[in-house]
Amino acid sequence: MHVKKVLVIDIGGSNIKLFVTGRPGRLKIPSGPALTPRRLVQEVKKATVDWRYDVVSIGYPGPVVRGKIAAEPVNLGSGWVRFNFARSLGRPVRLINDAAMQALGSYRGRSMLFLGLGTGLGTTLVRGGVVVPLEAAHLPYRNGKSYEEFIGEAGMLRMGRKKWGEHVFIVVDLMLAAFVADYAVLGGGNVRLLEELPPRTRRGKNANAFRGGERLWVNDIVCV
Amino acid sequence: MHVKKVLVIDIGGSNIKLFVTGRPGRLKIPSGPALTPRRLVQEVKKATVDWRYDVVSIGYPGPVVRGKIAAEPVNLGSGWVRFNFARSLGRPVRLINDAAMQALGSYRGRSMLFLGLGTGLGTTLVRGGVVVPLEAAHLPYRNGKSYEEFIGEAGMLRMGRKKWGEHVFIVVDLMLAAFVADYAVLGGGNVRLLEELPPRTRRGKNANAFRGGERLWVNDIVCV
């Protein structure tokens, strides 16, 4: 059987990371507020001119609904909604939210909650191979403040690392129960500030985004 | 094509409701704290002796994980975990949590949040045909109290109908955003106490449990 070679494009605010099945490591090309999808495709084609791949997965930094970009990105150029990536890349393309792609790559079966501890707070549930992006960060948590206001970047700066870490433990415990998850994976830039991890929790790895992009082409994976 | 005839068994604390594809209405047989699964099967066989069906769906009042009963029920007899329904009923059987079955029956596409307003507060998400039972009722909502303590039965008795109704509006709005749902369906015994419904919300119907049980046998429906 021919195993599909997947080109994975992980679009961030300052970098775009490129991976392809069977090639170790990754390639970084610059992103930024002027990046349009047309420009992205040009840069990707140039950077991967001697790569071989059958299909493409794109991790997009914004909402993706039923496989389609649902809103323009906050930190990039415009023209993303309705852009035809399959036509301009000449390959079948699957789109997924970037955090959901990392969550999918971190998945090891059963029911997993992925929390992205960065500027904001990303929340993605993966159950039985089904990816369920959530927006639980803005629910109230304490004193009229949201989860994100406590365990996002602003909360960490306000409370200090130690207190912030204590709230990460409490929130993981609450959310594991609420979302009926067996374990949590913590990703995002601030995970390194945690010296210990809450029970039933693992650290995510950036490389998992690549695995997530590849898994999008496995038939029993669905993103809802 | 032969359409499968589904026997749907909806197990409640005081009644068991029986439906079958193509037969209007339902049959009720008594339930209660002494009900064991063996007894259930005997009663169901007796009540449906002249019904024809190919497969069975069971709505179970407790946690069902990956199609299996995960804990004994609170208000019934014992022996439910690991009981072999398929063998004793002589048909293929699919199990689902009772609230999830009603949620599935209320589903009209896209992303739906089902809230069961009863003694407690049931929360089920259905997205793209995938049923995702949640346990969000116990998350903190206000003043250290949970959603359930506000919009469950106890909250309604404490605050009175009017104030309770106002909180239902607020909670629906918060949860539609958190669970990225396009609309909400409100089920459970206390929905009748709401004179108006929140925006983007419909009332559930009990008969939807039957439709949910039938849909469990449609191939693109998954419960995770």
pLDDT digits (tens, 9 = 90+) for A10-45: 998 889 999 999 999 899 999 999 999 999 999 999
The DSSP symbol for A4 reads: P
Tens digits of per-residue pLDDT, A187-218? 999 999 999 999 999 999 878 999 999 999 98
When CB atoms are compared, the residue of A127, A134, A174 closest to B178 is A134
What is the distance between the alpha carbons of residues B76 and B12, in angstroms, rounded to a whole number?
A: 9
Q: Are residues A166 and A88 in the same domain?
A: no
| Angstroms from A42 CA to nearest CA on chain B | 33
pLDDT at position A175: 98
When CB atoms are compared, the residue of B133, B139, B178 closest to A138 is B178
The DSSP symbol for A3 reads: P
Q: Are residues A73 and A146 in the same domain?
A: no
Q: What is the dihedral of CA B89, B95, B101, B104, to 10 degrees?
A: -110
Residue A147: pLDDT above 80? Answer: yes
Q: Are residues B93 and B125 in the same domain?
A: no
Decide if A74 is inside a domain. yes
Q: Are residues B77 and B121 in the same domain?
A: no
Residue A63: pLDDT above 90? Answer: no
Beta bridge partners of B124: B114, B133
Is B135 at the interface with chain A, CB within 8 A?
Answer: yes
Decide if B211 is inside a domain. no
Decide if A23 is inside a domain. yes
Tens digits of per-residue pLDDT, A98-130? 999 999 999 999 999 999 999 899 999 999 989
Query: How many domains, chain A?
Result: 2
Cβ–Cβ below 8 Å for A222 and B135: no
Which residues span the domain enclosing B175? 108-203
3-state secondary structure of B193: helix
Residue B116: pLDDT above 60? Answer: yes
Residue A3: pLDDT above 80? Answer: no
Q: Are residues B124 and B97 in the same domain?
A: no
Decide if A182 is inside a domain. yes
pLDDT at position A54: 97
Q: Are residues B76 and B32 in the same domain?
A: yes
Residue B1: pLDDT above 60? Answer: no
Decide if B10 is inside a domain. yes
What is the distance between the alpha carbons of residues B1 and B4, in angstroms, rounded to a whole number?
A: 9
For residues B40 and B16, is the Cβ–Cβ distance under 8 A? yes
Backbone angles phi, psi at A70, to 5 degrees: -100, -10
Q: Are residues A84 and A20 in the same domain?
A: yes
When CB atoms are compared, the residue of A127, A142, A178 closest to B224 is A127
Domain harbouring A20, CATH code: 3.30.420.40
Is B180 at the interface with chain A, CB within 8 A?
Answer: yes
% residues pLDDT > 70 (chain A)? 99
Closest CA to A114 of A100, A94, A128, A98: A100
When CB atoms are compared, the residue of A140, A178, A222 closest to B138 is A178
What is the distance between the alpha carbons of residues B105 and B180, in angstroms, rounded to a whole number?
A: 20
Is A3 at the interface with chain B, CB within 8 A?
Answer: no
ipTM value of the model?
0.89
Residues of A in contact with B181 (CB under 8 A): none
Tokens representing B143 are 């003043």
When CB atoms are compared, the residue of B66, B127, B134 closest to A128 is B66
Residues of A in contact with B182 (CB under 8 A): none
What is the distance between the alpha carbons of residues A149 and A161, in angstroms, rounded to a whole number?
A: 14
For chain B, the straight-line distance linking the first and the last C-alpha, in angstroms and rounded, comes to 28
Q: Are residues A20 and A95 in the same domain?
A: yes
Average pLDDT over residues B13-24: 93
Cβ–Cβ below 8 Å for B141 and A142: no
What is the distance between the alpha carbons of residues A142 and B142, in angstroms, rounded to a whole number?
A: 8
pLDDT at position B220: 74
Decide if B16 is inside a domain. yes
Q: What is the mean pLDDT of chain A?
A: 94
Q: Are residues B128 and B178 in the same domain?
A: yes
Residue B141: pLDDT above 80? Answer: yes
% residues pLDDT > 90 (chain B)? 84
Closest CA to A98 of A219, A217, A216, A183: A216
> What does pTM read for this prediction?
0.90
pLDDT at position A1: 54
Domain boundary among A76, A101, A126: A101
Residues of B in contact with A140 (CB under 8 A): 140-142, 174
Model confidence at A2, in pLDDT bands (50, 70, 90)? low
Q: Are residues B85 and B122 in the same domain?
A: no
Model confidence at B2, in pLDDT bands (50, 70, 90)? low
Backbone angles phi, psi at A103, to 5 degrees: -60, -50
What is the distance between the alpha carbons of residues A191 and A198, in angstroms, rounded to a whole number?
A: 12
3-state secondary structure of B45: helix
Closest CA to B121 of B95, B144, B155, B72: B155
Decide if B213 is inside a domain. no
Cβ–Cβ below 8 Å for A135 and B180: yes
| Angstroms from A70 CA to nearest CA on chain B | 12
Decide if B171 is inside a domain. yes
Q: Are residues A11 and A91 in the same domain?
A: yes
Tens digits of per-residue pLDDT, B31-72? 999 999 999 999 999 999 999 999 999 999 988 988 999 999
Q: Are residues B89 and B127 in the same domain?
A: no
Average pLDDT over residues A61-79: 91
pLDDT at position B219: 74
